[in-house]
């Protein structure tokens, strides 16, 4: 299933193999990798191509949707946003990252608001969650601005580069979304 969505400034579209070099460059920035749950650093050669194929397969099987965050004005890929779906529970986890040069301009919030709408309206999910490292208040703010509520902090929940990190968890139910 090939889905694309527009916002005021952005196009959210599936990644294509031609995006692999940009993914490796942006995701490979140490500032991006150190504030995400899963990005490696350095970002290995060939990993972006494999990841793009893996995410396309996940979408085809209904396990998740991953979109390139693209500047609609110049068609430049700026980052990624995804929903990883637990079909049985009709919920999904939101994940995202942006290249450092795109931080602080509201792009992540704009993309997250659109993915929340997609999750509840198009996919008919019951619940969305998101997590961010406590040491990354900008990412926490994105989830709050997109309407998710802070549900708790999991102390030393993950290990990133041999350092245990606290995670802030955020959530939103379908009922909460449609009552606003």
Residue 83 gets the label, from left (phi > 0), alpha (psi -120 to 50) or beta, of: beta
* 70-81 tens-digit pLDDT: 999 999 999 999
**At residue 1, does pLDDT exceed 60?**
no
CA angle in degrees (0–180, nearest 5) for 24-28-29 = 135
Q: Looking at residue 180, what is its pLDDT?
A: 78
* 95-154 tens-digit pLDDT: 999 999 999 999 999 999 999 999 999 999 999 999 999 999 999 999 999 999 999 999
Beta pairing partners, 95: 82
**At residue 66, does pLDDT exceed 90?**
yes
Residue carrying the six token digits 């997590």: 131
What pTM was estimated for this model as a whole?
0.95
Given the candidates 3.40.50.2000, 3.50.50.60, 3.40.630.30, 1.10.1040.10, the CATH classification of the domain at 5-179 is 3.40.630.30
Beta strands at 10-14 and 64-71: parallel, antiparallel or unpaired: antiparallel
**At residue 172, does pLDDT exceed 80?**
yes
Q: Looking at residue 128, what is its pLDDT?
A: 98
Closest CA to 44 of 23, 66, 71: 23
* 23-54 tens-digit pLDDT: 999 999 999 999 888 888 999 999 999 999 99
**CA distance linking residue 61 with residue 43, whole number of Å:** 26
**CA distance linking residue 14 with residue 55, whole number of Å:** 9
Sequence spans of domains, the chain: 5-179
C-alpha torsion sign, points 66, 2, 113, 79: positive
């Amino acid at each position: 299933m090939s889905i694309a969505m527009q916002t005021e400034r952005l196009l959210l579209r599936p990644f294509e193999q031609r995006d692999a070099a940009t993914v490796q460059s942006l995701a490979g920035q140490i500032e991006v990798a150190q504030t995400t749950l899963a990005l490696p650093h350095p970002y290995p050669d060939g990993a972006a191509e494999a990841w793009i194929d893996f995410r396309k397969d996940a979408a085809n099987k209904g396990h998740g949707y991953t979109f390139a965050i693209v500047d609609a004005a110049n068609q430049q890929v700026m980052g990624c946003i995804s929903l990883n779906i637990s079909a049985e529970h009709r919920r999904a986890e939101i994940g995202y990252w942006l290249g450092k040069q795109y931080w602080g301009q509201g792009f992540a919030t704009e993309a997250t608001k659109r993915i929340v709408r997609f999750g509840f309206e198009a996919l008919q999910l019951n619940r969305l969650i998101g997590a961010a490292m406590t040491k990354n208040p900008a990412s926490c703010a994105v989830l709050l601005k997109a309407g998710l509520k802070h549900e708790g902090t999991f102390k030393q929940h993950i290990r990133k580069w041999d350092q245990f990190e606290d995670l802030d968890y955020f959530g939103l139910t379908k009922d909460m979304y449609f009552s606003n």
